[in-house]
């Protein structure tokens, strides 16, 4: 049996402990986390407790110097401001990279990460875990039948009662601090919203118009809404950290019907002859209330491993991740220009490995 891939976690915070590690531990034949770096002493203590066999370091540089020869990949689970620098350092040491979203806080950084992956022939793979939520897989199953016809409109609403918090031992409010997060809810949640829209509208966006506001004293937005134009239709998204309830509501509309999702509940509306509409209701337990989305990571990490096996350094997921950052960056520019519609540069051809 082949040896499991040897990996190092950079950042042992909430998502590393509650999302990534449980999935790695559930697949010991595929992955082994042998090292961890975290700049926070209390989090290093936690890592020792959760991963007693891993070697623990206080920074990335020391970890790479000591461990690169033992490693195949690095998993980046720090806040976004450091993702690009960590990915570049890992590539320089000849390692594959799994990276949390948003992959970077600027489009230039995101593109440089993809370019570096191609140059050193190592995989760059983003954490697009929502694609593995059971409810999202159920939607994909319906769309693949083509029974709804071409999709021309999607709406994606994400209601949260507050911003997601990081671990208490470090900086729980980093998501509200621009220098660490790169932005507010658009930066934090825009990636999940946009890669789902790319998938459902089956094309890449051409323009965006966006508005943002902030009800807090922090220097980042807590309300974001936008309309994104695609060659195939439009996506309308509304994200807020100021909602009265926590919920996701997605709708997907085609010529022959529509899908409505409210957390785990799915309605499929099928247009019939004579103006009738049949509605089928189903449920796909997706544990939306569990912010670690632990179950969704298992399949995602298998995709990462398979992409390494195929030698596909920069695949569709990585290109989508860079397109998400470009869209978020352009959304900020649009909001600064009072919602002016701004064109997106066409996706740069990134040669697959």
Ligand X SMILES: NC(=O)c1ccc[n+]([C@@H]2O[C@H](COP(=O)([O-])OP(=O)(O)OC[C@H]3O[C@@H](n4cnc5c(N)ncnc54)[C@H](O)[C@@H]3O)[C@@H](O)[C@H]2O)c1
State the residues that interact with ligand X by CB under 6 A.
10-16, 37-40, 43, 60, 77-80, 82, 100-101, 127, 129, 166-167, 170, 174, 188, 293
Residue among 24, 40, 23 at smallest CA distance from 32: 24
Closest-approach residue to ligand X (CB): 13
Secondary structure class of 306 (helix, strand, coil): helix
Least distance between ligand X and beta carbon 216 (Å):
18
**Of residues 38 and 199, the one with the C-beta less far from ligand X:** 38
**Of residues 101 and 122, the one with the C-beta less far from ligand X:** 101
Least distance between ligand X and beta carbon 26 (Å):
17
Residue among 328, 80, 325 at smallest CA distance from 221: 328
**Of residues 100 and 320, the one with the C-beta less far from ligand X:** 100
DSSP 80-99: GGGHHHHHHHHHHTT-EEEE
Q: Are 325 and 112 in contact (CB under 8 A)?
A: no
**Of residues 79 and 257, the one with the C-beta less far from ligand X:** 79
Least distance between ligand X and beta carbon 211 (Å):
22
Least distance between ligand X and beta carbon 272 (Å):
38
Least distance between ligand X and beta carbon 290 (Å):
10
Hey, CA dihedral for 58, 60, 62, 64, is it positive or negative?
positive
Burial of 29 (0-12, 13-18, 19+ CB in 10 A): exposed
**Of residues 169 and 262, the one with the C-beta less far from ligand X:** 169
Cα–Cα distance list, 307 to 110, 300, 320 (Å): 19, 11, 15
**Of residues 183 and 233, the one with the C-beta less far from ligand X:** 183
Least distance between ligand X and beta carbon 246 (Å):
14
Structure tokens at 251: 């709708």
**Of residues 13 and 233, the one with the C-beta less far from ligand X:** 13
Least distance between ligand X and beta carbon 167 (Å):
4
Q: Are 341 and 327 in contact (CB under 8 A)?
A: no
**Of residues 18 and 316, the one with the C-beta less far from ligand X:** 18
Count CB-CB contacts under 10 A for residue 348.
13
Q: Are strands 55-57 and 124-126 parallel, antiparallel or unpaired?
A: unpaired
What are the residues facing 125 on neighbouring strands? Answer: 98
Least distance between ligand X and beta carbon 209 (Å):
25
Q: Are 224 and 188 in contact (CB under 8 A)?
A: no
Burial of 83 (0-12, 13-18, 19+ CB in 10 A): buried
């Amino acid at each position: 049996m082949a040896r499991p891939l040897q990996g190092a976690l950079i950042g042992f915070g909430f998502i590393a402990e509650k999302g990534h590690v449980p999935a790695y531990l559930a697949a010991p034949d595929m992955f082994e986390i042998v090292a961890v770096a975290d700049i926070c002493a209390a989090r290093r203590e936690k890592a020792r407790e959760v991963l007693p066999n891993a070697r623990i370091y206080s920074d990335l540089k020391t970890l790479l110097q000591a461990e690169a020869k033992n490693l195949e990949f690095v998993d980046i689970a720090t806040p976004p401001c450091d993702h690009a620098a960590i990915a570049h350092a890992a590539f320089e040491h000849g390692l594959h990279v799994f990276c949390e979203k948003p992959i970077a806080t600027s489009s230039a950084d995101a593109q440089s990460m993809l370019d570096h992956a191609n140059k050193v022939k190592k995989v760059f793979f983003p954490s697009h875990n929502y694609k593995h939520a059971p409810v999202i897989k159920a939607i994909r199953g319906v769309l693949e039948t083509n029974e709804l016809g071409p999709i021309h409109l999607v709406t994606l609403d994400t209601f949260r009662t507050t911003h997601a918090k990081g671990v208490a031992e470090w900086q729980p409010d980093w998501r509200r601090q621009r220098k660490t997060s790169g932005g507010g809810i658009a930066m934090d949640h825009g990636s999940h919203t946009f890669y789902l829209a790319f998938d459902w509208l089956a094309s890449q966006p051409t323009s965006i118009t966006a508005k943002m506001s902030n009800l807090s004293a922090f220097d980042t937005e807590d309300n974001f809404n936008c309309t994104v134009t695609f060659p195939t239709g439009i996506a309308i998204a509304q994200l807020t950290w100021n909602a009265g309830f926590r919920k996701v509501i997605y709708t997907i509309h085609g010529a022959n019907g529509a899908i409505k999702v409210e957390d785990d509940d799915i309605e499929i509306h099928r247009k019939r002859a004579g103006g009738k509409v049949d509605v089928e209701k189903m449920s796909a337990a997706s544990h939306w209330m569990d912010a670690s989305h632990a179950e969704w990571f298992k399949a995602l990490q298998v995709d990462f491993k398979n992409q390494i096996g195929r030698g596909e350094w920069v695949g569709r997921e990585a290109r989508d991740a860079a397109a998400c950052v470009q869209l978020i960056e352009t959304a900020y520019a649009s909001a600064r220009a009072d919602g002016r519609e701004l064109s997106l540069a066409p996706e740069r051809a990134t040669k697959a490995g």
